[in-house]
Each structure stands twice: as C-alpha cells, then as structure tokens.
Amino acid sequence: MALPQHTRALAERLFQRYCARLCDPTFDSQVRLDFELEDDAVLLFELRPVFGMTSMLRRLPLARFRYRVERGDWTLQAADTHRPGWRRAPLARHRSLALLLALVDEDVHGLFWGRVNGASLRWCSARGRCVGCDRRYREALGQPAGELSRR
C-alpha cells in the first residue's frame, strides 16, 4: 500500500535534510548520500563513482524504511552485504521515522556504514563527522588527512 500523502511529504523533507547535512561538498566526487521514495518505503543509499569516473555513479543501498499503513509504523531493514536483498535491523520498528533514521546514523551494530579496522565509518554527531571520524573516513577513501577543520 502506498505512503499516505502527508507521511510521504514528511519523509521527503526529513531525508532531504539528512542527506544534505551529511554530504560534505568536498567529498561530492567520491561519495554522496541520496534517497528514493518508493510506494511504501524510503530507500537510503550511497552514490559512488564507478572506476573513479564521476559521470557514472553506482547506488549502494544502506537502509530501507517501510511504512505499514495498517499499524501506522515504520520498519527498518539493512542491505544484506552477502546477497541481494534486505534483513531486518535490531530494534527496527517504530512510529517515528526520525528515530529510526537516528539508529541508522548511530549504527551501533555496524549494519549500515562500513567498517575499517573495526571502526565504523558512521558520522558521529548531528553536525557531521568529528575530526576523528573525518580522518578515518578520508583514510578509507585513500585521501591524505591534510587540514581538517572541526565543525
């Protein structure tokens, strides 16, 4: 069943703000966050260049938020990295889409954001990546640390 119009508009605004907040323009050529509204769901994904060509982007799914009209709640699913499809995330049902999005952002189980040497690549604050996360993220992307400004 399709998302109710009001719920769809709220979800769209929430994800527009979320993706804009996390997408640092200096990384735009390497990774961006985006979303897509489906009939009964919102799909959150990364856009990454194919073979370093910024004109060709591939979508890497991170999370899917499905709305259940009959219950008036959302379920959260993580992309399965071992096979096509989705798996349910822990504590993954709630009436608040914003709360579920915060769970994705926190990623305490390492389901959504990759890991490098056991450390999550997630963004650790509401204002974006802290200096430590930014450094790890740049290292994971093969960028020199250089001058990092604290947000």
The CA distance from 11 to 42, in Å, is: 8
pTM of the model: 0.72
Q: Are 102 and 112 in contact (CB under 8 A)?
A: no
* pLDDT confidence bin for 151, thresholds 50/70/90: very low
Looking at residue 149, what is its pLDDT? 38
Highest mean pLDDT among 36-40, 93-97, 109-113, 147-151: 36-40
Question: In the chain, which ranges are E strands?
Answer: 32-37, 41-50, 53-68, 73-79, 86-94, 115-116, 119-120
Hunting for tokens 């009939």 — which residue is that?
Answer: 39
